[in-house]
Each structure stands twice: as C-alpha cells, then as structure tokens.
C-alpha cells in the first residue's frame, strides 16, 4: 500500500497557500509530520482524508486518484482530526458504534473492535457514561479509539497525544507503533519525542512547503557537528537566543548550560555533542517558526 | 468600579460586534432585510388603511414623501426586529459557549453584568446595522420614486426612532433567554415567537376594534412597532382626502385587496405624539432591565452545554439494573495499550444503512428533557384514543417534535462531527439515515393525529400524512445544513405552523389540522417542497464531500 502526493497544493485566497507543490510518497510505516504552527500540516491531512480537495495536484492511494474516487481511501481510512468533536449525549461505546457504522463495519465486527479498543484506551469503566462528562484526556482517548475502529490501512492522526498525561502518551505511542506494521500511518505532532519514538520517516513542513522527507537517522546525521553545549552567563542568554537556535537550557549554580544549533562553534569552550531529532528539526526549520 | 465595568462592557461589545459583522451570515440577513424593505418600498407590501364601502374595498396609502417613507420604513424595521431580531441576535452567548470563550471570560475579573451588558451593546450594534441597511434602501427608493425633497433626517430619524428602542428591548430578551439554560435553545425560540405574535396580534385587534385615537394611553404605551403612533400621525391626512372614512384608525400591512381602489393621501411629516417618546424610552429601559435580570440566572462557570446532569432516560436506564442488583461498575486495572490484541477487520463493505439509521434515530431521540418524552407519550395516547379534537391533536403533534427536528442537519456541525462524516464511506448514507429517522418520528407524531383523517378519507388522507412527513424533516435538515444553526428552521417552521395548523389557514396547513386539505393540492405542494429540500440537502452534501 502506498499513498502518493503529486504536486499537491491548497490555495485559500489569491496569494495565501495552505500547502504548495507537495510531492511525497508514503509506504507502510509511521511517517511523522513535523512543522511549526501554520506550516500546513492540518491542511495536508484534510486533503489526504478527503475532507478538503486540493487546489492543484493529485493524491493517489494505491494508484487511484482519491479526489476522483474518494471512496477508495474512505473505505480504509482512520482519521483523528486535531480539533474534533463528539456527540455529548452519547456514551463512549455509542459514539464508537456510530463511527463504526459510518466506516461500514457490520455489527459483530464493530462490537468486537469496540470492546478491544475500549480496553486498549482504558475506557472500559466509563464506556456507558455520556461523553459530556469526559475530561479532555478521556475525550482524546475516545478520538484515538474511533480512528482505529475500522482497522484502517491508512491512519491519519493529528496531534493524538495532546492532553494526555506522560504515561498515557507513551502508551498511545506504543499503540500506534504496534498497529503500524502493515499500514500507512501519518502522525502530525509538535512533540518531537513522539516522532523520535515511533516514526520510520519524517516529513518536515514549513510555510506550506515540504522541506524534506527522510528517515530520522538521516535527518539527525545532517545536523551532526552543528550542535554544541556550553556554560553561559545568564545575562548573555538573550543575545545567544538572537544569534542561535537554542535547543535547551539548564539552570546551574554558576550560569546556564545551553544547547545550541550553530554552523560554527558559538564559544571557545563549547563542545560538539550528538544531535537529537529535536536539534535536527530546529536546524532545518531555522527561524521560520517565529516569522 | 462602575466606570471600569462599563469600559469592560464596551470591550466585550466591540469584540463581539467585530466577530459578527465579519460573518457571512450577517450578509445573508442584511440581504433578506434589504429585499423585504425593497418589497415594501415598491409597494408589493404596504401599510394601508382599509375600509369597505357598499361592498367595495378601498385602500388608502400615503404619497411617498420623505416623512411617509421614513415613518413606514421605521414601522417595518420594528416589525422585522420584533419577529426576526431575536433569531438574528441570539447566537452570541451560544457562540462563546461553543468556542470556549466563555471559559476564558469566566477566569477574568469581568463581572457578569459587564459581560452581559457588552453582549447587549453588541446586539444594538447589529440592530443599528439592520436599520441602516433598511434606511439606506428607503433613502435610495425615495430618490428614485419619491415625492418632494429627499430628507435623510426624516428617513433615518424615523427608522431609528421607531426601530432602535424595540431593538433594545429584543436585545434584552435575547440576553435574558440566553442566560437561562432552559430557554437558551428551542424552547426559548418557541416562547419568543409565541410572545411576539401574541403581542402584535393583541394590539392589532385592539387597534381595529377601537382605533388609535380612542385607545387608552396605557394600551398605546404598549405599541411596540409604532402602528398606533403612525396612525395617530397620519390619520388627519387621510381624513383630508376621505372625510367619510369609517375603517380602523390604524394602518395595517397588506398587499391591497385584488381589484380594490387605492386612494393616496399626502402626509409631509408631523410631530411625534408625546406618549410615543415615553413608549420608546420605556422599551430602552426595559432592555437594560432585562440585562440586569439576566445576571441572576446567568452562570459564567457552568454553561448548560457542559452540565453533567444526565438525561432522565439515561438515569432511568442506570437505575433499573442497580435496583435489581444487576451490573455494577468496577474500577478496572487495565491501561492504555496494554495486553489487548485487536481483531483484524477484513470486511468494511457493509452498506450499514440500517445500522446508520438506528444510530441517527438514537441521536434524534437522545438528550431531551424528561417532560418532552412525557408530552410525546401523552400526545400518542390522546391521539390514538381519538378522545380529543383532531385539530388540537394535529396542531400539538406538529409542534412537539420541533425539539427533534431542529437538531437535524445542524447537529453534526455544532458538535464538529462533519470531518468524520465526510471522510467516511457513507457521507450520503448518513444524510439519508438522518432524514429517514426524521421521517419515522414525523410519521409517528402525524400518524397518531391524522389516523382519523386517513380512515375517513382514504387515499386523500394518506396524501395529507405523506405531504407532512415529506415536508418537515427535509425542510429541517436542509435548513440546519445550510444555515449551520437550528434557528432558521425554527423561525420558518414556527411561522408556517402558527399560520397554518394553529390558525387554520388551510393553504399553509401541512399537518392536516384543519381537516380541509384532504383532496386539495396543499399536501402535494408540501410534499414536493419536501422532496426538493431533500435533493437540496444531497446537493449541499456533495459540496461538502
């Protein structure tokens, strides 16, 4: 199975593009979609899920144009939008039954899947409670369950771990990894460690353009030699932030230990360190996220 | 402190007003208002004095001077605000609830009265936009068709003097109703339209019985839309051309009787009656008073949507097993993603219409207050027993499910389910399943009311039932889909229901309440409208997918 994007673009007004000229090929596995706010991630996901039509280009699912034949992908799609709603008067189980019906599952299969997903997302004990009484984290878990209810071949999840506690976040990551073996999973998130922990490939998006689509190791390798750590004076921190991409800071008794992405050694005592995916992300995105 | 509160209210009003004027929905409202004003200005709809002399109807209308155009447009504006204003203005608090803005506001030092006053002021901004639209249309109309000098002061002055105070009052009612959970939805819409129609009907009846000049001051003080004031100001001008005039001393809306002679009189302006100043000031103060009252029920912390109150059926459903010692809820020890394998799905090809229908029916019936179910059951019992007047049963059966119908089409939008639907394999199936669920409910309610008609008139009675069943759910669904609110359907439906089934105007009696539509073209027309609406809903869905 393969999802291929050929010069896909979405224009919102005369000179405002959500995404522009995206070429991408996604095969089985988890593909992380990273980018700053407004990069076009959600726009791209809406196109891939047929919620929105591209202004230019074509999206193919196993060779079929999904704009012309959306049913081809809708049959096998699981989708968790970033900002999704639920029917507040339905219970968790009833809501999943509703989505299962929309996704074309027969009653027996739906019942079995829903039982399992309620267990997987730890919602069994609240399955008969109206969704209006759910906390944000519980609601998010319902969202994850509904995305998996039809055992999708193409799973598109937008910020799936938002609102989850750290333990549940890890478990959701594991869940996504376990279901991704023989299907295409597109995972959009701002949480780089989630991508680091799960994704076989990473697509970097900024200002509606695809910067790169590669495996995390290659991305990190490209940043090798550009990441430094050193101890700086607190009063110099603002200046350092202006000059470099600061990946992290750790307060110490004698100053601040800063980790920066820089093309040249930022200070005489700065030592080169092994980059992480977060460093690589900052290196590629640069200051785009703040423009 | 008051000064700071007022300042905050202005900020609330400013943000709310800016949000609303940037909505395309307001453009639709203004277009509708402008169209209505145009119809009025070109004489398709007029304020007419009418009398019958020797069996012949005579209509009297003023020449289109600036003063006359201003006065009648003002009365028209007030009438529009009385009937439609509530529905146009009412989304403000609801939007804050659905977007979570109310939670942000609740965490700020803004006092409730400041917040509600701000909303009221924002409403007045919208009222002003509506009146400016109407006044501008009247101004242009006078420039093109008018008599004498075009006087913007008379035109806009009259439009605002008559219309704006009523807008203040309607805005106050809106703020109050939106602050009371029970009245924030369909029930409030029903109560309002009943109240507005009753208010105007009563005053028109009084006017026709007694005439403006003989009514007491107290009754004139209740003149919401300015009909009594208009009558008092123009009546002498009418008598100048028709000294023997014997009709009501208050003009009324009409299109003029077919073949009736129309006589024009000249009215170039005059002094507003003293009592009318008191009347208008009273409406403004009432509006402010309602905002003050609204601060009592308004709950900034917990809005109705987030209530954890369980619907009565749900509570009953949980009560039974616990009473009989059935299922108990045990805190499980399972965790997300642990120790559970997933059944592979190999068949995703189920058409699923039956399942979808069940789901949509559940959504339609779920979540209403307990008294709605009790009322529904009572209608069924009374209707099936045949113990009450069929007209009364049909009228009530045609209004009771309004709470259900009005959620059709708009439910998925308001709960942000649309992305799930349009990305599913059954975007059209969902639409048809929702419609079919609406048809079933409508058939049950109309069926219990109309079975005597069907039994009596056979196929013609069946057509009456079918016309209503085809019309209502499709109209509701299309209105909800397109407007993304339930108010468009509720307003349109309530007006048709009020005139047709309730007041017995057979041509609008889609529910067969009058018993006069069997064998006529009326059921066929409503059925056709229903089919067209259903096709419209399918076409709209095709744009979504």
DSSP A87-152: -TTSBHHHHHHHHHHHTT--HHHHHHHHHHHHHHTT-GGGTTSBGGG--HHHHHHHHHHHHHTT--
Which residues of chain A does B423 touch, with a Cβ-Cβ cutoff of 8 Å?
A: 49-51, 74, 77, 79
- Shortest CA gap B193–chain A (Å): 27
Question: Which residue in A has a C-alpha nearest to residue B335's C-alpha?
Answer: A122
- Give the 3-state secondary structure of residue A25: strand
Q: Select from A77, A107, A117 the Cβ nearest to the Cβ of B423.
A: A77
Which residues of chain A does B415 touch, with a Cβ-Cβ cutoff of 8 Å?
A: 85-88
Q: What is the predicted pLDDT for the residue at B340?
A: 59
Per the CB < 8 A criterion, the answer to whether A24 and A203 are in contact is yes
Q: Select from A105, A117, A168 the Cβ nearest to the Cβ of B350.
A: A105
- Shortest CA gap A194–chain B (Å): 15
Question: Which residue in A has a C-alpha nearest to residue B331's C-alpha?
Answer: A125
* β A64-65/A16-27 pair status: unpaired
Contact A50 B422 (CB under 8 A): yes
Helices (H) and strands (E) in chain A, counts: 10, 14
The packing angle between helices B274-294 and B112-145, to 10°, is 140
What is the token pair recorded at A24? 């991408």
Q: What is the predicted pLDDT for the residue at B303?
A: 47
Contact B425 A104 (CB under 8 A): yes
Interface mutation target, options B303, B306, B310, B336, chain A, most CBs of A under 10 Å? B336
Contact B334 A124 (CB under 8 A): yes
Q: Select from A86, A105, A119 the Cβ nearest to the Cβ of B348.
A: A105
Compute CA B425 distance to the chain's CA centroid, rounded to the nearest angstrom.
35
Question: Which residue in B has a C-alpha nearest to residue A153's C-alpha?
Answer: B345
Contact B337 A151 (CB under 8 A): no
Q: Select from B314, B331, B343 the Cβ nearest to the Cβ of A112.
A: B343
Q: What is the predicted pLDDT for the residue at B29?
A: 86
- Shortest CA gap A107–chain B (Å): 8
Per the CB < 8 A criterion, the answer to whether B430 and B422 are in contact is no
CA B415 to CA A240: how far, in whole Å? 46
CA B437 to CA B356: how far, in whole Å? 10
Q: Among residues B292, B285, B302, which one has the least CA distance to residue B112?
A: B292
Helix-strand-coil split of chain A, %, nearest 5? 35, 30, 30
Which residues of chain A does B411 touch, with a Cβ-Cβ cutoff of 8 Å?
A: 87
| Residue A37, CA atoms < 13 Å, CB-side half-sphere | 2
Which residues of chain A does B426 touch, with a Cβ-Cβ cutoff of 8 Å?
A: 101-102, 104
pLDDT tens string, chain A, 291 residues long: the values are 899 999 999 999 888 999 999 999 999 999 999 998 889 999 999 999 999 999 999 999 999 999 999 989 998 999 999 889 999 889 999 999 999 988 888 888 899 999 999 998 999 999 999 998 999 899 999 999 999 999 999 999 998 988 888 888 888 888 888 888 889 999 998 888 889 889 999 999 999 999 999 999 999 999 999 999 999 998 999 999 988 989 999 999 889 999 999 989 999 999 999 999 999 999 888 755 443
What is the token pair recorded at B333? 């020890």
Which residues of chain A does B410 touch, with a Cβ-Cβ cutoff of 8 Å?
A: none
Residues β-bridged to residue A6: A58
Q: Select from B336, B416, B423 the Cβ nearest to the Cβ of A74.
A: B423
Which B residues 367-396 touch A at CB under 8 Å? 367
Contact A130 B422 (CB under 8 A): no
Indicate the DSSP class of residue A211. E
Per the CB < 8 A criterion, the answer to whether B485 and B467 are in contact is no
CA A117 to CA A47: how far, in whole Å? 27
Q: Select from B359, B362, B416 the Cβ nearest to the Cβ of A85.
A: B416
Neighbours of B88 (CB within 10 A): 24
Which A residues 158-217 touch B at CB under 8 Å? 167-168, 171-172, 174-175, 178-179
Contact A104 B367 (CB under 8 A): no
The CA-to-CA distance between both ends of chain B, in Å, stands at 52
Q: Among residues B136, B153, B134, which one has the least CA distance to residue B144?
A: B136
Q: What is the predicted pLDDT for the residue at B211?
A: 57
Interface mutation target, options B342, B351, B358, B436, chain A, most CBs of A under 10 Å? B342
Backbone φ and ψ of B265, nearest 5°: -125, 160
Query: Is the CB of A136 inside 8 Å of chain B's CB atoms?
Result: no
Query: Is the CB of B23 inside 8 Å of chain A's CB atoms?
Result: no
Q: Select from B337, B344, B348 the Cβ nearest to the Cβ of A172.
A: B337
- Shortest CA gap B181–chain A (Å): 16
Is this structure's pTM higher than 0.80?
A: no
Interface mutation target, options A43, A69, A75, A85, chain B, most CBs of B under 10 Å? A85
Which B residues 442-501 touch A at CB under 8 Å? none
Q: What is the predicted pLDDT for the residue at B317?
A: 44
Which A residues 50-89 touch B at CB under 8 Å? 50-51, 70-71, 74-77, 79, 81, 83-89
User: What are the residue ranges spanned by the domains of chain B?
Assistant: 2-294, 353-544
Q: What is the predicted pLDDT for the residue at B313?
A: 46
Question: Which residue in A has a C-alpha nearest to residue B362's C-alpha?
Answer: A90
Q: What is the predicted pLDDT for the residue at B258?
A: 60
Per the CB < 8 A criterion, the answer to whether B100 and B214 are in contact is no
Give A168-191 pLDDT, tens digit per residue. Answer: 888 888 888 888 888 999 999 888
pLDDT tens string, chain B, 545 residues long: the values are 788 888 889 988 998 998 888 777 788 888 888 888 777 766 666 788 888 888 888 888 899 999 999 999 999 899 999 988 998 898 888 888 877 788 777 777 788 899 999 999 999 999 999 999 999 989 988 898 888 999 999 999 999 999 999 999 999 999 999 999 889 888 898 899 888 888 888 877 776 665 555 667 777 788 888 988 998 899 899 999 988 888 888 887 766 556 678 889 999 988 999 999 999 999 999 999 999 999 999 987 654 444 444 444 444 444 344 334 344 334 344 455 555 577 888 777 666 788 899 999 999 999 888 889 999 999 999 999 888 888 889 999 999 999 999 999 999 998 999 999 999 988 999 999 999 999 999 999 999 999 988 988 899 999 999 999 999 999 999 999 999 888 889 989 988 998 899 888 999 999 999 989 999 999 999 999 999 999 999 999 999 88
How many CB contacts within 8 angstroms connect chain A with chain B?
158
Contact A87 B415 (CB under 8 A): yes
Interface mutation target, options B333, B420, B431, chain A, most CBs of A under 10 Å? B420
ipTM of the complex: 0.80
Which A residues 91-110 touch B at CB under 8 Å? 94, 97-107, 109-110
Helices (H) and strands (E) in chain B, counts: 23, 4
Q: Select from A79, A150, A172 the Cβ nearest to the Cβ of B419.
A: A79
Per the CB < 8 A criterion, the answer to whether A19 and A208 are in contact is yes
Question: Who contacts A206 (Cβ-Cβ below 8 Å, separation ≥6)?
Answer: A35, A36, A39, A284, A285, A288, A289
Q: What is the predicted pLDDT for the residue at B328?
A: 38
Residues β-bridged to residue A250: A257
- Shortest CA gap B323–chain A (Å): 17
């Amino acid at each position: 199975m393969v999802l291929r994007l050929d010069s896909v673009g979405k224009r919102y007004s005369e000179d405002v593009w959500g995404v522009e000229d995206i070429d991408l090929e996604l095969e089985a596995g988890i593909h992380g979609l990273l980018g700053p706010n407004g990069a076009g991630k959600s726009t791209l996901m809406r196109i891939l899920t047929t919620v929105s039509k591209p202004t230019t280009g074509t999206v193919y699912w196993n060779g079929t144009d999904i704009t012309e034949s959306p049913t081809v992908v809708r049959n096998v799609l699981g989708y968790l939008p970033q900002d999704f709603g639920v029917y507040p008067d339905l219970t968790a189980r009833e809501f999943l039954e509703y989505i299962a019906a929309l996704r074309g599952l027969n009653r027996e299969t739906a019942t079995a899947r829903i039982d399992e997903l309620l267990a997987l997302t730890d919602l069994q004990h609240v399955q008969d409670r109206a969704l209006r009484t759910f906390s944000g984290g519980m609601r998010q878990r319902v969202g994850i369950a509904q995305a998996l209810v039809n055992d999708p071949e193409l799973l598109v999840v937008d910020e799936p771990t938002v609102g989850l506690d750290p333990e549940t976040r890890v478990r959701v990551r594991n869940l996504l990894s376990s279901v991704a073996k023989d299907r295409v999973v597109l995972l959009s998130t701002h949480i780089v460690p989630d991508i680091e922990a799960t994704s076989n490939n990473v697509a970097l998006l900024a200002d509606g353009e695809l910067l790169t689509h590669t495996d995390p190791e290659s991305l990190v390798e490209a940043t090798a030699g550009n990441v430094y750590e050193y101890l700086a004076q607190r009063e110099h921190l603002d200046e350092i932030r202006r000059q470099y991409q600061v990946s992290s800071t750790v307060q110490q008794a004698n100053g601040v230990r800063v980790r920066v992405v820089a093309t040249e050694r930022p200070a005489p005592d700065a030592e080169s360190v092994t980059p992480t995916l977060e460093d690589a992300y900052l290196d590629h995105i640069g200051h785009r996220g703040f423009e | 402190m008051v000064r700071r509160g007022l300042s905050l209210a202005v900020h609330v009003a400013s943000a709310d007003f800016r949000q609303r004027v940037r909505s395309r929905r307001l453009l639709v409202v203004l277009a509708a208002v402008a169209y209505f004003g145009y119809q009025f200005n070109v004489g398709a709809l007029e304020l007419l004095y009418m009398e019958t002399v020797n069996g012949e109807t005579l209509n009297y209308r003023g020449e289109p001077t600036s003063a006359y155009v201003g006065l009648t447009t003002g009365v028209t504006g007030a009438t529009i605000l009385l009937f439609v204003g509530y529905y146009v203005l009412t989304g403000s608090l609801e939007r804050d609830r659905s977007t979570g803005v109310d939670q942000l506001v609740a965490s700020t030092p803004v006092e409730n009265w400041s917040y509600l006053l701000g909303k009221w002021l924002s409403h007045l901004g919208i009222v002003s936009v509506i009146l400016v639209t109407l006044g501008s249309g009247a101004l242009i109309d006078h420039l093109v068709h008018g008599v004498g000098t075009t006087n913007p002061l008379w035109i806009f002055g009259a439009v605002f003097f008559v219309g704006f105070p009523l807008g203040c009052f309607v805005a106050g009612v809106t703020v109050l109703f939106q602050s009371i959970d029970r009245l924030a939805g369909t029930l409030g819409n029903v109560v309002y339209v009943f109240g507005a129609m009753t208010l105007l009907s009563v005053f028109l009846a009084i006017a026709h019985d007694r005439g403006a000049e003989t009514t007491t001051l107290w009754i004139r003080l209740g003149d919401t839309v300015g009909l009594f004031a208009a009558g008092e100001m123009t009546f002498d001008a009418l008598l100048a051309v028709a000294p023997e005039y014997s009709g009501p001393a208050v003009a009324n809306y009409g299109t003029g009787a077919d073949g009736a002679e129309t006589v024009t009189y000249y009215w170039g302006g005059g002094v507003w009656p003293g009592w009318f100043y008191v009347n208008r000031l009273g409406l403004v103060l009432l509006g402010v008073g309602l905002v003050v009252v609204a601060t009592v029920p308004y709950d900034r912390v917990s809005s109705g949507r987030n209530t954890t109150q369980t619907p009565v059926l749900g509570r009953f459903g949980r009560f039974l097993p616990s009473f009989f010692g059935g299922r108990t809820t045990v805190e499980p020890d399972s965790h997300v993603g642990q120790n559970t394998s997933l059944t592979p799905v190999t068949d995703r090809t189920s058409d699923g219409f039956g399942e979808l229908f069940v789901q949509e029916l559940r959504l339609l019936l779920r979540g209403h207050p307990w008294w709605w179910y009790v009322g529904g059951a009572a209608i069924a019992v009374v209707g099936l027993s045949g113990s009450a007047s069929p007209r009364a049963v049909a009228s009530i059966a045609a209004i009771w499910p309004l709470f259900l119908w009005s959620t059709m089409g708009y439910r998925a939008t308001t709960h942000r389910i649309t992305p799930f639907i349009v990305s599913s394999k059954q975007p059209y199936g969902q639409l048809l399943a929702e419609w079919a669920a609406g048809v079933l409910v409508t058939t049950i309610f109309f069926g219990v009311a109309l079975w005597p008609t069907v039994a009596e008139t056979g196929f013609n009675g069946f057509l009456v039932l079918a016309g209503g069943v085809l019309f209502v759910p499709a109209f509701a669904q299309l209105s909800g889909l397109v407007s993304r609110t339930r108010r468009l359907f509720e307003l349109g439906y309530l007006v048709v229901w009020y005139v047709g089934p309730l007041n017995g105007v057979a041509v609008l009696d889609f529910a067969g309440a009058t018993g006069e539509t069997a064998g006529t073209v009326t059921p066929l027309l409503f059925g056709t409208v229903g089919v067209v609406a259903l096709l419209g809903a399918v076409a709209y869905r095709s744009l979504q997918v």
